[in-house]
Amino acid sequence: MMEGILGSETPLLLSALDGEPQVSIRYNPFKVTARPEGEGVPWNRYGYYLSERPIFTFDPLFHAGQYYVQEAASMFVGHLFEGATEGAEGLRLLDLCAAPGGKTTLYSAQVGLEGLVVANEPVRNRAKVLAENVRKWGLGNVAVAMNDPHAIAEALPEWFDVVAVDAPCSGEGMFRKDDRARAEWSPEAVRMCAQRQRSILSDAWEALRPGGVLIYSTCTFNRAEDEEQVEWLTEEFDTEVVEIDIDPDWGITLSEAAGHTCYHFYPHRSRGEGLFAVVLRKAERRSKQRPTRARRTALIAAPKREVSELQRWVEGGEAMRFATAGDRYFGYYAHQMEEMSYVSDRLNVIYSGVCMGQMFGGKLRPDHALALFHDLSASVPRTELSRAEAMAYMRRESPAEIAAKMNEGIGALCYEGATIGWAKRIGARINNMLPTDLRVLTKESEEEIWQE
């Protein structure tokens, strides 16, 4: 198959797929104020290559949402987003196949706090991972949904300015990174993926407003899941070409499908794993967008008597709105509140905005998500920890050394200025408030951590 695409270059690709994957991260621009040192990923201003792979589990800054570990080629969709939207603000973006959250966190930073991302994952255990990564990223502009794509198209027709489909695929581009991708590949798997992708793309197109853009990507090489899908889209729907500038030095291979430029990352040509991507615009016409019936009222406005208590935990609290969902309180930027409610009433939303916590006697018991929120109030008491203390906290231990540093009551614990969670000092001891499912299970000495 690859000889039909790359010809005599095929041995170079196969050799690259037997090599070591390049490690890269993307830092959170809403939490990291100074650019890190290192070699940048050329197509994403927040991406950096690492010379070797550290054990991210033992880095408190990873747990604080200061950066996301993301393969470099995957960051290219951010370049497509920027080129296609030309700096437009307040955009609604649907990430239709979002787990585990790499592209969701990328898009949430790029739409900014004025925009809104709906990140969807229909599989429950994958949706939970997605929601956890959204909490850790901590921007408060994401709603995590768990719906079939067709249900979203029916509930929110022509509602989104951008729809991103990082489609389930045969995974050829991940052969270097994931042995399971090699083991599970077959020509039949390619055909099944291509069929499924067309169903997802149809729903994505229905959810996209006229004039909006579709970003379609896969981590595979074959034409059936790549160029042939673009040709099918162009035959079925009114598409328009979007021109994107790229640097020839990036090593991206261009192809053409029905007049649209397609972008391929081959590991022997570019510094990343395999990726295919394309961006198409939905032709302008009269929109058939219509309000749809709400399934329920998911978010209930917080009682006025509790709003002042909630406001004091976040910067600019007067510009935020608060609501209850079940027994927890959630915070939203005021300009997003109406849209968040609209989405939550129509989809199965499992997380949105920032979870503030629970109220007891008029006082907030803060949720872990609030500790990781980028707009946590500067007035919240903070205690700076050493690295050893921070990792003891992440193992859900309660060292006396931390208690000795804290004031009485609930306070935020920090490492290198980044908040990693809550603890409550009671007398000479602390209650570690880290959620049990986030506990780091392995205990290593400092020397072992860095040697490995």
Residues 232-268 pLDDT 10s: 999 999 999 999 999 999 999 999 999 999 999 999 9
Same domain? 116 vs 157: yes
Mean pLDDT across the stretch 395-421? 96
Same domain? 398 vs 373: no
Same domain? 298 vs 189: no
**Domain, as residue range, for 231:** 12-282
Mean pLDDT, the chain, integer: 94
pLDDT of residue 73: 97
Q: Hey, is 23 helix, strand or coil?
A: strand
- Residue 219 is among the residues annotated as catalytic for this protein: yes
Closest C-alpha to 126, from 163, 92, 90, 101: 101
Encode burial over 299-321: b for 16+ CB neighbours within 10 A, e otherwise. beebeeebbebbbebbeebeebb
Closest C-alpha to 95, from 125, 62, 127: 127
7, part of any domain: no
Which whole-number Å values give the CA distances from 36 to 33, 69, 272, 331, 375, in the listed order? Answer: 9, 14, 20, 30, 21
pLDDT, one tens digit per residue, over 197-233 is: 999 999 999 999 999 999 999 999 999 999 999 999 9
Decide which of 239, 263, 282 is a domain's last residue: 282
128, part of any domain: yes
274, part of any domain: yes
Please determine, for residue 448, whether its predicted confidence score (pLDDT) is greater than 50: no
User: Which residue in this structure is represented by tokens 């198209």?
Assistant: 153
Same domain? 234 vs 341: no
Mean pLDDT across the stretch 398-411? 95
Same domain? 331 vs 389: no
pLDDT of residue 449: 40
* Percentage of residues of the chain with pLDDT beyond 90: 90
Same domain? 335 vs 433: no
Mean pLDDT across the stretch 68-95? 97
Same domain? 192 vs 205: yes
Same domain? 209 vs 352: no
Decide which of 339, 364, 379 is a domain's last residue: 379
Same domain? 351 vs 362: yes
pLDDT, one tens digit per residue, over 270-313 is: 999 999 999 999 999 877 677 788 989 999 999 999 999 999 99
Same domain? 46 vs 148: yes
Q: Total structural domains in the chain?
A: 3
Same domain? 161 vs 268: yes
Decide which of 247, 282, 317 is a domain's last residue: 282
446, part of any domain: yes
Q: Which of 97, 169, 193, 219 is catalytic?
A: 219
CATH for 173 = 3.40.50.150
249, part of any domain: yes
Whole-prediction pTM: 0.95
Same domain? 107 vs 56: yes
CATH for 443 = 3.10.450.720
pLDDT of residue 160: 97
Closest C-alpha to 217, from 164, 273, 163, 268: 164
4, part of any domain: no
Closest C-alpha to 221, from 437, 448, 13, 443: 13
Using CA atoms, how far apart are residues 82 and 70, in angstroms rounded to an integer?
18
Confidence of residue 444 (pLDDT cuts 50, 70, 90): low
147, part of any domain: yes
Using CA atoms, how far apart are residues 364 and 422, in angstroms rounded to an integer?
13
Q: Which runs of E-coded beta strand occur in 395-440?
A: 409-415, 418-426, 429-432
5, part of any domain: no
Closest C-alpha to 439, from 390, 396, 397: 396
